[in-house]
Structure 1
């Protein structure tokens, strides 16, 4: 016959995560049924004290039976309606209790201390269960019910409250508030501990996923962790652009260098080339020896034409970037000229997860893969060879040279191949890329990628170098 301040129903099974079972002093919230029993006992105690002091009519003792039955009635009704709508049901039941307690307050003639105690007890429950929203409507219903009963029965003639009734009222509401507040506090501690553990597990999951992402291409990793793709054995046919590259001269270099130094050089090369690949949106498939396999168009695609253009643009950028790396290696004492050679093919391949249920590899297979690998093997150092299919997709923006036809296993007729020269915008007097290399001198200039703040320092360095060459020429 009173409100409750718990946050779970008596028949509601605990769904606390197993990670919370180790929380120190984990005390569940005060069940609804127990809260109502405690609240009803406080109200019944107030009524008994009021009858003993003679301020309440003895006919009100029938409310003691109602107070004993009320918690069982609410529990039965809640179960009958269904636990799936529990939050809304609990609020409705509490509003009904506001009407009931308001009527009891009216029946007692608005005796100050008992009325205040019963109202305070119920408003405390409303605040905990439903916040200010439920407290506001609960107060309205409580006041309306009390006012209606007072209008029918009238006010008490003596507003003074005897000592026994006052003590029982204050002790009853005090015990109720303290007990429910204690359980609410313990529940808050559990929730705080749960939040801390969830945050810790989240940080561990992020750290683990970051480590696992090193073994997958960023596009594949993102599609898995965002739920866009399931981790299961499945493949599909899709038109992609496939890229292969390797380092010409790497075998000779491996015989000259120590394994540790060779490993460092190779990792540096892979890191630089991977940055270029990711810049253009390529999906890095694998590293094999000094070779790299990359494809464009999956998991995400910008269209066949744009995928092919991005693939060839990446290859051109890699070729230019290799010249910078070669200068850096030369400064480190590596004299063997290392050149990159590349092959690109576009067409339908089978892409997806291959392998076993417990060990998968996200890769591609098909004759276009074999063709790209074959083109890479045929390419000269510093050369980019593309198939006719790729050429047809990029020819409007990239200049290519016809290199004739080759015979490739898996193709019924000879395949036309083309050599990538450069972007059409970079050909002629307005080109942004300039390179020059002699003994004792090497220059690589890509004016399109130079920012304004670096342009002045580059000009000063070039002028200083030119002045020194002129002075040496004059001294001769």
Structure 2
């Protein structure tokens, strides 16, 4: 019966444990049978049967252990069930040959119910009780039963000791199993935490749609398809020269700071970062959680404006750190149908966006002036009512046979006119950067005094 513990717990158990439990049960039954024999009476068949069953119970423990050890992994579960069924048959026969002694019978029946319910549930309970009834019936047929129920305590002593030892051993074994389960649970919890941290770290290197598909086991849904997307490219002008002027540690710190800010803004506007290429950033709108072509294009342009604004703020931060070369970012945006999917070899694959419209966005970024955002006519048609743009005419870009009509993004219409909150202008010897959203109320007078002083000084200055 105890062999079923391995099946139920799902853990690899010591093969000696079932032997220990079966040995205790069989020794208790054998002791009960020996005490039930009336040694003073002449020998007869019933006495021989009782003594023979007691001896067989002792030998049976060794036989059952050898059978359990030699069973193949495929048949181990069936072997355990049959051995448990045989256990209950032998116990039932022992109860009958012991003349249904009251206390031993109750103890053995209780033990059978305990094992059946704790080890296998309803199915095991039915099998064990069936074996118990068959064993009792068989013992009743081969043994002339006593008509009076025997409650002799001498007969009960062996069963009491054996069953008491059995329950103590079972309690010890259960405690050990619970301790092992607690340790396993702690290890599993730690492993899950580690797995979550690794998954979180992995998410930094993958597009969100690809990461969700991989973690949820839905890679098959990532089929190659055509989608209407808005693609954004940006890079830092003359970044190659900057790499030659700075130490590797300083360059790494500044570049990571810049890319982190750009990634934060992209996430704020719902963009999907496709890749970083050195200082260049590629962001896609419309692949993951699209809200329609018009909304995707508008969010992309709003993101570009926020990035340009933040880049101008970082330029001053870089200057304060001793980097005299200005941080000048160029940006290009285009809208069109692109191919989205997984590309690569059997050993290395990448989830990305490809197509002519992706190339055009990259070419527009290359054609833009420092601090300029160029968009294609397709993008302008979607956002013209919300964004003020300046017609830049046609430009010739590499890879396209005909010139491409482009527009320069000025700002969101809501930020212009009386509601304008961001002012910036530059000239030789002059630079102004005013963000009304960040000017604190108690600094307002100080800012006004500085502007008035600068204006008065400039008016009184004779410039030759």
Note the alpha carbon deviations across 1:91-114, whole angstroms, 9 max, x for none: x99899999979986997874431
Structure-2 separation of matches of 1:84 and 1:311 = 63
Aligned residue in 1 for 2:162? 172
Structure-1 separation of matches of 2:181 and 2:442 = 64
Note the alpha carbon deviations across 1:240-298, whole angstroms, 9 max, x for none: 22111112354554565445433332222112111112222323233333221222233
Instruction: Indicate the structure (1 or 2) with the bigger Cα radius of gyration.
Output: 2
Structure-2 separation of matches of 1:154 and 1:420 = 107
Structure-2 separation of matches of 1:396 and 1:109 = 101
Aligned residue in 2 for 1:443? 434
Between the two proteins, the alignment pairs up a number of residues equal to 435
Could you tell me how far 1:373 is from its partner in structure 2? 0.8
SS at match of 1:27: coil
Asked if residue 319 in structure 1 is aligned to residue 301 in structure 2, the reply is no
Aligned residue in 1 for 2:448? 466
Could you tell me how far 1:35 is from its partner in structure 2? 5.3
Asked if residue 434 in structure 1 is aligned to residue 427 in structure 2, the reply is no
Asked if residue 46 in structure 1 is aligned to residue 28 in structure 2, the reply is no
Q: Report the CA distance shift for 1:301/1:443 in structure 2 as closer, same or farther (over 3 A).
A: same
Structure-1 separation of matches of 2:293 and 2:30 = 80
Aligned residue in 1 for 2:359? 370
Structure-2 separation of matches of 1:6 and 1:184 = 13
Note the alpha carbon deviations across 1:207-233, whole angstroms, 9 max, x for none: 44444444334443343233232699x
Of 14, 18, 30, 1:27 maps to 14
Note the alpha carbon deviations across 1:110-157, whole angstroms, 9 max, x for none: 7443134213422432453257x8999999999x99xxxxxxx99945
Structure 2 counterparts to residues 137-286 of structure 1, below 5 A: 156=148, 159-162=151-154, 165-229=155-219, 235-251=224-240, 253-254=242-243, 256-286=245-275
Contact conserved, 2:207 with 2:351, CA < 8 A, in 1?
A: no
Could you tell me how far 1:170 is from its partner in structure 2? 1.6
Q: Report the CA distance shift for 1:161/1:254 in structure 2 as closer, same or farther (over 3 A).
A: closer
Structure-1 separation of matches of 2:455 and 2:225 = 66
Structure-1 separation of matches of 2:234 and 2:386 = 22
Note the alpha carbon deviations across 1:25-57, whole angstroms, 9 max, x for none: x735845x9856753553354244224489xx8
Q: Report the CA distance shift for 1:410/1:440 in structure 2 as closer, same or farther (over 3 A).
A: closer
- Which segment is superposed worse, 249-258 or 330-339? 249-258
Structure-1 separation of matches of 2:432 and 2:333 = 32
Structure-1 separation of matches of 2:76 and 2:124 = 23
Q: Report the CA distance shift for 1:469/1:428 in structure 2 as closer, same or farther (over 3 A).
A: closer
Contact conserved, 1:29 with 1:186, CA < 8 A, in 2?
A: no
Of 278, 294, 304, 1:305 maps to 294
SS at match of 1:358: coil
Could you tell me how far 1:178 is from its partner in structure 2? 4.3
Q: Report the CA distance shift for 1:181/1:83 in structure 2 as closer, same or farther (over 3 A).
A: farther
Structure-2 separation of matches of 1:223 and 1:345 = 27
Asked if residue 328 in structure 1 is aligned to residue 317 in structure 2, the reply is yes
SS at match of 1:403: strand
Of 97, 103, 108, 1:113 maps to 103
Structure-2 separation of matches of 1:397 and 1:100 = 89
Structure-1 separation of matches of 2:276 and 2:373 = 19
Note the alpha carbon deviations across 1:78-103, whole angstroms, 9 max, x for none: x9xx98998xx97x998999999799
Could you tell me how far 1:331 is from its partner in structure 2? 2.9
Contact conserved, 1:244 with 1:291, CA < 8 A, in 2?
A: yes
Q: Normalising by structure 2, what TM-score?
A: 0.72
SS at match of 2:445: helix
Structure-2 separation of matches of 1:101 and 1:271 = 74
Q: Normalising by structure 1, what TM-score?
A: 0.70
Structure-2 separation of matches of 1:348 and 1:286 = 19
- Which segment is superposed worse, 261-270 or 193-202? 193-202
Structure-1 separation of matches of 2:286 and 2:403 = 26
Q: Report the CA distance shift for 1:385/1:29 in structure 2 as closer, same or farther (over 3 A).
A: farther
Aligned residue in 1 for 2:139? none
Contact conserved, 2:229 with 2:336, CA < 8 A, in 1?
A: yes
Contact conserved, 2:297 with 2:335, CA < 8 A, in 1?
A: yes
Q: Structure 2 unaligned segments of length 5 or more: list them.
A: 41-45, 135-144
Structure-2 separation of matches of 1:410 and 1:466 = 51
Could you tell me how far 1:193 is from its partner in structure 2? 4.5
Contact conserved, 2:425 with 2:432, CA < 8 A, in 1?
A: yes
SS at match of 1:8: helix
Could you tell me how far 1:194 is from its partner in structure 2? 3.9
